[in-house]
Structure 1
Amino acid sequence: MEIKIEKLDLKIIFRAFLREQKAFLFPVVLILLQLFILFLIDVKSDIFIYTSILNISLLLVFFLIRFLFFYKRVNKFIYILNNLEFDNHFDKHDFSLIENIALLKLQKLLRNAQKADAQHRELILEQEEYFMLWLHQIKTPIAAMDLLLQKNKTGDDFQMRKALLSIDSYTQMALHYLKLQTKNSDLDFAEFSIDTALQNIFRKYRCFFIYKNIVLNYKPVNLSIITDSILFETMIEQIISNALKYSCLNQKAPEITVFVENTNSIVIKDNGTGISASDLPKVFDKGYCGQNGKNMQKATGIGLYLAKKIADSINCKIEIKSKLGYGTTVRVKMKK
């Protein structure tokens, strides 16, 4: 964090100057003593007045010159402080001993801070690389488990698929979260079909729709957009996943409707439990579950937070309208 020192008020500089000029009292005392002696020996009044004016004028000129040098030194010191780097060189003759010691100490602190910052960045980069590698590698056993489940169906097929889907979803969430956190990560913008992205999500969650008897209302729109397809699909998946999760809790026949509005918005609507008015402003906060999430006991509060971060990165806007007990409508606006 960069902290800049503002220019000091003239009164503050003048008071500091007076405190530093204690030695200046000596010539003042000498001049006053000289005038007093002239007064005692009863010199002519015009000579006394001329001498007094000359001494006081010289004293004031000397005082003003010293103040101007002091004022310039203070401003130069502030400038160096505001632009100080650990390897900057400055003219030590321009400053007092204490000021030189302060600047050298600050340079040492800056050098140590920069070294610590570089080590911290290196550590963070190593951690990101490790987690990215781990997240990519874990996808292989997940895919293998999915194939085994397809071949060996049992009575607990849905529960096993649900658990596997959760593992896969959390892995993908972590992968994309790390990607968004990495500043050097470039987004892969390309044209793709909205239908393809949505159908990939529906296919992934088909066991939920079937097992929970959730009705899906969706008509293909044959519309293409240009953005990062993987992040876009992940964003929509988080919203549909939430709709599936909370639709199952309602006593009504669960139903999810997905449609495109005005060619620039995707609307995901469910008739689930809805969101309370007090929870609605906080649904995008990291780790916030709300009352519905607390009731489920397995909510992480990461899904909508991740969706919002993705939306911000690919120039989209997410709007949520909901009423407790009457379902939720999420509108994803794609800015042109």
Structure 2
Amino acid sequence: MKFSDYMKDNQITLLVCFAGGLFFSVLLLAFGISLSEMALLWVCFAIIVFFTMFAYFRKQQKRIQYLLETMETLDKKYLIAEIADRPETELEKIYFRLLKTALKSMTDEVTEIRRLNMEYKDFIEQWIHEIKVPITGVQLLCENNKTEIMRKIIAQTELMEQSIEKVLFYARLGSVEKDYLIKEISLKQCVLEVLSRNKQFLIHNRVCVHTDSISDLVYSDSKWLGFIINQIIFNSIKYCSDKPPVIHLKSKDMGDYVTLSITDNGIGIKQSEVNRVFDKGFVGSNGRMRKKSTGIGLYLCDQLCLKLGIGIDIESEIGCYTTVLLHFPKSNHLNV
């Protein structure tokens, strides 16, 4: 706060002082005081008013500076009313009381919203586990009565499972660190498990998957990594071209990290949209054209990769291919 701003805020006080000075000047002149003496009194009066105002300004400036510095050091800014020194004036006491009341109301509201979100999350997770039971039952019935129609039904149930799994992982996105176990895993084994889980869907869509070039080991969580790979493969199938879908999965040791590339021969992505595919809700021209995109799948992949310490990039050429690259960092302290 500048001194000029402080003076503007106290214009009424200055006007009262000036009016009082004029009043007493008239009285003193009436009692016969000389003009030189009057001028001296006015100079003394102006000096007293100025230094008094300046002293209050410096005190207020120090107080504001202290509050701002205290605020900067706090991770939780809303605790400023609890951490700051006791109010020094009656006006500060009123302001602090209002601030504490507003913060308590905000805290209560946030707590209630968190409680409702937790209840909703618990309900979603419970519903997902319950809905998996009849889906599994349908799959078992179809497995025991293998016909062409039953295979198509299994393919659709696998698609349903993939959508349900997406909802589950989205619900758990905020607490990934509580539900993962980092250990050495085989990339090929993880990929094969994903393909096995969706074999009927892949067969139904006549997808050709090449996994011969995967051989590296990485440190990650197999469940969360499986979801990421599964989502990328499903996207490759969803945005396939008129040609039979072909997906190539390759791993390569790059020295400081291992890269898993997943390449398809689909319709590709426009260069202007490549940098936005990981944005939440972004469907792009392909999604609007096919009307099947939600803009959540790759967003989930990006967020999970961030929490797992995996780098993710995407390369594409419209009408030719799309390649998703997963970069798994190496760390010497993991080799214990």
**Which residue number in structure 1 is paired with residue 282 of structure 2?**
288
Change (3 A) 1:181 1:27: same
- Superposition RMSD in Å: 3.1
Shift of 1:317: 2.0
Tell me if the contact between 1:149 and 1:161 (Cα under 8 Å) persists in the aligned partners. yes
Contact 2:208 2:247 in 1 (8 A): yes
AA aligned opposite 2:47: L
Question: Are the counterparts in 2 of residues 86 and 111 from structure 1 also a CA contact under 8 Å?
Answer: no
What whole-Å deviation, never above 9, does each CA across 1:152-185 have from its counterpart, x for those lacking one? 2233123211220111111111111111123773
Deviation at 1:49, TM superposition (A): 4.6
Q: Residue in 2 aligned with 1:218?
A: 211
Go from structure 1 to structure 2 and tell me whether the alpha carbon gap of 1:316 and 1:56 turns closer, same or farther (over 3 Å shift).
same
User: Using the alignment, how far apart are the partners of 2:231 and 2:177 within structure 1?
Assistant: 24
- 1:303 partnered with 2:304: no
1:197–1:85 CA distance, 2 compared to 1 (3 A): same
1:262 match: 253
From 57, 68, 82, the equivalent of 2:55 is 68
What are structure 2's unaligned runs of at least 5 residues?
72-78, 331-336
Q: Is the 8 A contact 1:219 1:259 kept in 2?
A: yes
Match of 1:320 in 2: 314
Percent identity over paired residues: 25
Identify the residue that residue 76 of structure 2 maps to in structure 1: none
Matches within 5 A, 1:1-336: 8-29=1-22, 32-33=25-26, 36-37=29-30, 40=32, 49=36, 52-53=39-40, 56-57=43-44, 59-73=46-60, 76=63, 84-85=80-81, 90-91=86-87, 94-96=89-91, 101-182=94-175, 185-219=178-212, 221-247=214-240, 249-250=241-242, 252-262=243-253, 264-336=258-330
Q: CA separation of 1:334/1:175 partners in 2, compared to 1, >3 Å: closer, same or farther?
A: same
Once the 2 structures are TM-superposed, how far is the Cα of residue 205 of structure 1 from its aligned partner?
2.4
| TM-score normalized with structure 2 length | 0.81
Instruction: State the SS of the aligned residue for 1:265.
Output: strand
- Return the index of the structure with the highest Cα Rg: 1
Distance of 2:59 and 2:171 partners within structure 1: 50
**Once the 2 structures are TM-superposed, how far is the Cα of residue 74 of structure 1 from its aligned partner?**
6.1
The CA deviation string for residues 21-56 of structure 1, in whole angstroms up to 9 with x for no partner, is 443235522553366357x57x6xxxx756753663
Aligned amino acid, residue 328 of structure 1: T
Q: 1:278 to 1:59 in 2, by over 3 A?
A: closer
> For the residues of structure 1 that align with 2:193 and 2:175, how far apart are their CA atoms?
26
TM-score relative to the length of structure 1: 0.81
Q: Distance in 1 between the 2:56 and 2:82 partners? A: 27
d(CA) in 1 for partners of 2:215, 2:83 = 60
Q: 1:288 corresponds to which letter in structure 2?
A: F
| Deviations, residues 92-128 of structure 1 (Å, cap 9, x unaligned) | 6x244xx655443333222222211111111111111
SS of residue in 1 equivalent to 2:262: strand
Please identify, of 74-83 and 308-317, the stretch whose mean Cα deviation from structure 2 is larger.
74-83
